[in-house]
Structure 1
Amino acid sequence: MTQQPDTLTDTLTTALDYAAHGWRVFPLLPGSKRPATPNHRAADCDGTDAWCRTGHAGWEQRATNRPDWITRAWSSNPAYGVGIACGPSRLVVVDLDTHKPGSEIPEPWHRFGITTGEDVLDHLAGAHGGTITPTYTVQTVSGGTHLYYTAPDTTRRFANTAGKIGWLIDTRAHGGYVAAPPTTIGTSAYTVVDDRPPAPLPLFLLDLLTRDHQSAARASQDRSQDGSVHPARPMRPGGSGEPVRDQSAYVERVFEIAINGDAPRGVAGLLDADEGGRNAALYVAAATVGKLVARGLIAEHVALDRLMDAAAGHIATGAYTPYEAESTILSGFRRAATRSAA
């Protein structure tokens, strides 16, 4: 597999090497995890982009293993990072994060003294009689770990998950991508720490990804076997105080309001922002969505990705750079976390 390149000019060679292994790649903006293209939202697509002549093409549709397309893309800007589209590459990447200082450690992990996704995964493997098969492994810029596994040969299309398997564990598959070595953000780079070929997805992970946990999750919110405090149930965005039984629907409704607004209630969304007010609108949207992050209803990186996608149109007009947009969103998240802790 691919070794860590020494210079940015080696990124093209690395991208071509990934493609030779059948992985679909696309360029990331320099110093960022954001796709370099497209620079417009699906709702704003007018078909003038060559990729969009038969319909809007996002980063997943543009990901390729064609050497000529890859060469053309990275030759235009050797500083581009490398993104790998997991679904088209038949990969399931397990993203193992680390505990952020100052944030709460949930049970039972607090009781066990566990603070990393790697330890959570190891515990889950033991509990399910499985093993964590050694595989192609990357260290992320935040100190986490990406485990690359090949997706099972099945008609099932695995999607992304955020915390479904366990605390500090996300997965990327169809609809998801990973920044890959030698992508650099700030002074840190993604690096290969185990260069062996990706192993098949372990059976215990396959079971956890395909098992329907919805009934058990809902039951655990209503009662606890050991008498512990019940997890907080989200309230409706309108503030009625009525618990929402379907958390996914609640999350989507919050995003809908943050991005598109709520005209009957006179709430403006990110997309309604006019020139001069776009950065403020992005901050408000981030603070709104940040409540979901603070309550553990969605992973921070997933929320960040969705808001960055929503802000793509404003970025394209020069209202702010991708870096500025990301900084504003994270500021909104911090504001929401502070208010939630108060």
Structure 2
Amino acid sequence: MNANLHQILLAVDCVTDRPLAVGAPILAAAGLYVFPIGGDKRPLVRWGSQATTDAGTIARWGRQWPDAGVAVACKPSGLLVVDLDVKHPPVNGRESWAELTAASGDPEAAPACLYDRTTLIRTRSGGLHLWFRDVEGIPGRDYLLPGIDVKASQGDCGGFVVAPPTPGYTVLAPKPPMRVPGWLQLILAHDDKPMRAPVQLPSKTNVAPPFLQPHPPAGGRAKPVNFLATLQDIPPGRQDNKGMGAATTLLENGYSPSDVAQWLWEIAEGWSTDGRPWTPRDVERWVRSGMSLITRRGAA
């Protein structure tokens, strides 16, 4: 990776026409492996094997797809990118990242959330990409916290990000990518989160929707079996998001964290997986994330 990448990104940011044909060769010359994407951000080639720095290949793509945007493959480019998504309210990746950096114990991470210390790109939807120099072997994470994905080197491809001069993607902080902070390395490597102090859940003020009503009626809060039944057949690619969303929904409707954790563990034990099986630590993560989201909503 070129040490002057931040300056190169600023130059690319000025490109206003034919981002693939004009901008991609500049990025490639800086050591970034690029490939074309359509307006829907879908790759136009088999990016895992065809992302390249070759000028001839990029020129050919530019002629074939004159209106294409540019994406960067993270693994061969030596990048780890934290993606903060804001396009699915009330989930807000920037708020989740602020919470994570504040809990990191790193005085340089907060209060500016590292925005002033590393390469920062604004996305088309108003989210942010933080570019870091990758550390070999750190895994990515499709759902680190609500609204946060991490694209990293581990695996065959390592994920990709859309880059300037693709329309809507702009350089905000012309800083060179910093090395991945140690606290973030630990979180990603150990599948864990900084511990939070216990929080007081808001009291339930509204009537729960029918599928969350206790069943059968009882003196206390009975198990919401109808709602839990909707979680039984979730496919592997959606289970993590579903677990986190279900935890939030149950907590918002007044169920205790311990009950929610127990019920979701019963569900997770029955889910099929495309990798390692779910563990109690995953369920704890879902519940903690739900509590965190509810707390932020209450403070808004």
**TM-score band w.r.t. shorter chain:** 0.5 to 0.7
The amino acid across from 1:197 in the alignment is P
Cα–Cα, structure 1 residues 10 and 212, in superposed 2: closer, same or farther, change >3 Å?
closer
1:133-172 alignment runs, 5 A limit: 133=114, 134-152=117-135, 154=136, 156=137, 158-164=138-144, 166-172=145-151
The answer to whether structure 1 residue 95 and structure 2 residue 95 are counterparts is: no
The answer to whether structure 1 residue 245 and structure 2 residue 269 are counterparts is: yes
Greater C-alpha Rg: 2
The corresponding residue for 1:279 is none
Which sections of structure 1, spanning at least 5 residues, go unmatched? 38-57, 106-115, 236-241, 254-295, 297-342
Measured after TM superposition, the shift of residue 251 of structure 1 is 9.5
CA distance, structure 1, for counterparts of residue 263 and residue 30 of structure 2: 45
Cα–Cα, structure 1 residues 199 and 74, in superposed 2: closer, same or farther, change >3 Å?
same
The corresponding residue for 1:203 is 182
TM-score by length of 1: 0.51
Cα–Cα, structure 1 residues 204 and 248, in superposed 2: closer, same or farther, change >3 Å?
farther
TM-score by length of 2: 0.58
CA distance, structure 2, for counterparts of residue 33 and residue 178 of structure 1: 9
- Count of residue pairs the alignment pairs up: 202
The corresponding residue for 1:75 is 63
SS at match of 2:268: coil
Which sections of structure 2, spanning at least 5 residues, go unmatched? 1-7, 196-239, 278-285, 287-300
Cα–Cα, structure 1 residues 246 and 211, in superposed 2: closer, same or farther, change >3 Å?
farther
Measured after TM superposition, the shift of residue 86 of structure 1 is 0.6
Aligned match of 1:124 in 93, 100, 104? Answer: 100
SS at match of 2:14: coil
Measured after TM superposition, the shift of residue 194 of structure 1 is 1.5
Could you list the structure 1 runs, at least 4 aligned residues long, displaced by more than 6 angstroms after superposition.
250-253
1:4-19 alignment runs, 5 A limit: 4-19=13-28
CA distance, structure 2, for counterparts of residue 232 and residue 251 of structure 1: 22
Cα–Cα, structure 1 residues 192 and 248, in superposed 2: closer, same or farther, change >3 Å?
farther
1:1-342 alignment runs, 5 A limit: 1-3=8-10, 4-29=13-38, 31-37=39-45, 58-98=46-86, 100-101=88-89, 103=90, 116-130=92-106, 131=109, 132-133=113-114, 134-152=117-135, 154=136, 156=137, 158-164=138-144, 166-174=145-153, 175-184=158-167, 189-213=168-192, 227-228=256-257, 230-231=260-261, 243-245=267-269, 249=273
Summarize deviations over 1:106-140 as a string: whole Å, max 9, x none. xxxxxxxxxx3223222222212121442111111
The corresponding residue for 1:108 is none
Cα–Cα, structure 1 residues 78 and 245, in superposed 2: closer, same or farther, change >3 Å?
same
Measured after TM superposition, the shift of residue 7 of structure 1 is 2.4
CA distance, structure 1, for counterparts of residue 69 and residue 262 of structure 2: 40
Measured after TM superposition, the shift of residue 72 of structure 1 is 1.9
Measured after TM superposition, the shift of residue 234 of structure 1 is 6.1
Considering only aligned residues, what root-mean-square deviation do their CA atoms show, in Å?
Answer: 3.5
CA distance, structure 1, for counterparts of residue 123 and residue 152 of structure 2: 17
